[in-house]
Amino acid sequence: MPITLEPIGAVRSSRSAPIDDNWDAESARIELDPARCGPDALLGLDQFSHVEVLFVMDRVPESAIERGARHPRDNPAWPRLGIFAQRGKNRPNRIGATVCRVVAVRGLTLEVAGLDAVDGSPVLDLKPWMAAFGPRGEVVEPAWVAELMRAYWRG
């Protein structure tokens, strides 16, 4: 069953290429489309410290999509894992999800910190991050994740 989604806006970022690391060095904002969002669509979002941004990683070519397993970042030192056991950009639907810090809200523009999306990426949805929707119980992850993420946010 096909699903059709229309972007509600676009990312405006200081990064134009999907390079993996140092995302905190980038400035980013989300500009909502006034044809799809009312002028008060972001009203009250500034009362939250964080927002979850769902976006499309549209620069990933169809030929690069992984539908099975691979080593994260093609690093053979890390285990071979199914695409749904990692957060790589080469996913079948190319949907990205990142929790970002809310910096400012101005009309239909949301300024954020810590968004790992490139300039022009279509934004599908925004959700205020609420602690009650965070993980319940202990969070467990394999050791290789810490190595992969060591430079991801550093900027």
The enclosing domain of 69 has a CATH number of 2.40.30.70
Contact present, 90 and 69 (Cβ < 8 Å):
no
Q: Give me the number of domains the chain comprises.
A: 1
97 inside domain = yes
Contact present, 100 and 51 (Cβ < 8 Å):
yes
154 inside domain = no
Domain residue limits at 54: 9-149
Q: Taking the model in full, what pTM does it have?
A: 0.92
Tens-level pLDDT at each residue, the chain (155 residues): 999 999 999 999 998 888 777 778 888 999 999 999 999 999 999 999 999 999 999 999 999 999 999 999 889 999 999 999 999 899 999 999 999 999 999 999 999 999 999 999 999 999 999 999 999 999 999 998 988 888 887 75
4 inside domain = no
1 inside domain = no
